[in-house]
Amino acid sequence: MGKRISVIMVMALFMAIGHDPAPLLAQGSGGVRLGEVVVTATRTEVPLEELGVSATVITSEEISQRQVTDVLELLRDVAGLTVVQSGSRGALTETYSR
């Protein structure tokens, strides 16, 4: 079930930002602010403490501190998740969870 949650979370993150390989954090006033995204296997909102599985939360503060430019950079440091990109930016990217 943990693997399923991780895959669902990654898919939701990709859908939330779209399939555009443009930078996640736009510079200047043209940036887009996304609301909170809650992902569960039951499709109902459940507090993180009550999930019963491991989950990774990436906050906006963490994104700002790390100064990442795309989702791949965020996902590379998630425990249990492997991100493989074949080619340059915008090329095929695969994610694997253990």
pLDDT of residue 89: 77
Residue range 19-23: mean pLDDT, rounded: 50
> Burial letters for 29-51: b for 16+ Cβ neighbours within 10 Å, e otherwise?
eeeeeeeeeebbeeeeeeeeeee
Dump pLDDT digits (tens) for 6-16.
667 666 666 66
pLDDT of residue 21: 46
* Rounded CA separation 81/53 (Å): 15
Dump pLDDT digits (tens) for 39-53.
666 777 777 777 777
pLDDT of residue 31: 65
pTM (predicted TM-score): 0.47
Dump pLDDT digits (tens) for 53-97.
777 888 888 888 988 888 888 888 888 888 888 878 778 888 888
pLDDT of residue 67: 86
* Rounded CA separation 69/21 (Å): 10
Q: What are the structural domain ranges in the chain?
A: 2-97
